[in-house]
Chain A
């Protein structure tokens, strides 16, 4: 087992290449469905499910699908998975199905899914691709969920539908509020990411200098 490789895939999906805050992909459902935490997490989980399976199938068929028709083939596979999710949600969680509205079928053309299919799954083995899909989906779920919690709390005074306070700022439930919260999160996430990266780089540089001085002394 190559743990460092899997660790790398996980950190890439959740932090380094977080699709929402770092790559700014899937913006449309992010802005539209983060008005409530439940919708945001629900959408995130739907994307995770589809991303994991689409990466798995695309990786499985990567040697069979000719390069010339890879995009229509990916769209066929992704559309099938999205339709399955639609059927399952309509049957078992109709509340979530209704609240997703048009954004559920639009997952077919979600850049995150097509991006991972094109950028990772068609070049890597099945297990690695499935892991990449799963962790990218988790990164997406966490990002959307965080935005959903903040927007719901400030805009409706509730947390996952539970009313916590009467005070509310309607702006946060509007489209403009969605853009504002999204921008703030991107700024905070990237600032924190850069700070951590700088700290790690400094630490590595100090270790490197130490190694050099030991070599010189010897």
Chain B
């Protein structure tokens, strides 16, 4: 087949049509992506509204590079509210297929002292397929079960022990591990850096 014949062939027409459609669709999506882009600030404000039910003023807490990671995972962001509470976005490791879960954790502070967790909710996840298992009853454990223990240094694990508070969603043990780690990661930072006005 000569080049001229190829230009007149059906194959060439197919390539041109598909490429044109792909380019037009791609261009349209690029423009819309720019118009409908959700900034980090907007995402944070939405998360705050979801947790508190209203818009709240906040300041971003700067995290030192060496404090960003600990054995439970990584601190993504911290926001301080006027009422003294903190909103912490933390990622827990060791989930299903070595994936992660990122959670929003609200830490309550009274007179500069840590006074337990006010709320916990999922922000995002990687490779976790059973997130629907984590219902209200599951996240309420972080807030209500053994609040004194949480204030006095206990962390969360799958099962109850002297030093740990058990929280598990049966059938999604690996993902529970990541969820617990996300909350523990926030707790670790709170105890090391925020508690007692450090």
Contact = CB atoms under 8 A, between A and B. Distances in A.
A80 interface: yes
Contacts of A88: 36
Interface stretch (A60-68, A132-140, A204-212): A60-68
A66 B10 contact: yes
Given A68-B10, A91-B38, A94-B46, A73 B18 contact: yes
Contact of A69 (B14, B29, B33): B14
A66 B17 contact: yes
A79 B46 CA distance: 27
A44 B21 CA distance: 27
Given A64-B17, A72-B18, A83 B10 contact: no
A69 B13 CA distance: 10
Contact of B17 (A69, A80, A83, A87): A69
A72 B17 CA distance: 11
A165 B46 CA distance: 31
Given A83-B29, A88-B36, A65 B17 contact: yes
Main SS at interface, chain B? helix
B32 interface: yes
Given A65-B17, A66-B17, A87-B33, A76 B10 contact: no
Q: How large is the interface on B (under 10, 10 to 19, 20 to 34, 35 or more residues)?
A: 10 to 19
A196 interface: no
B1 interface: no
A208 to B, nearest CB: 50
Given A76-B25, A79-B25, A80-B29, 18 more contacts: A64-B17, A65-B17, A65-B21, A66-B10, A66-B13, A66-B14, A66-B17, A68-B14, A69-B18, A76-B18, A77-B21, A83-B29, A84-B32, A87-B36, A88-B36, A90-B36, A90-B38, A91-B36
Interface of A: 61, 64-66, 68-69, 72-73, 76-77, 79-80, 83-84, 87-88, 90-91, 94
Return the 6 tightest CB-CB contacts between A and B, nearest first.
Answer: A80-B25, A87-B36, A69-B14, A91-B36, A66-B14, A76-B21
13 contacts: A65-B21, A66-B13, A68-B10, A69-B18, A73-B21, A76-B25, A77-B21, A77-B25, A80-B29, A83-B29, A87-B36, A88-B36, A91-B36
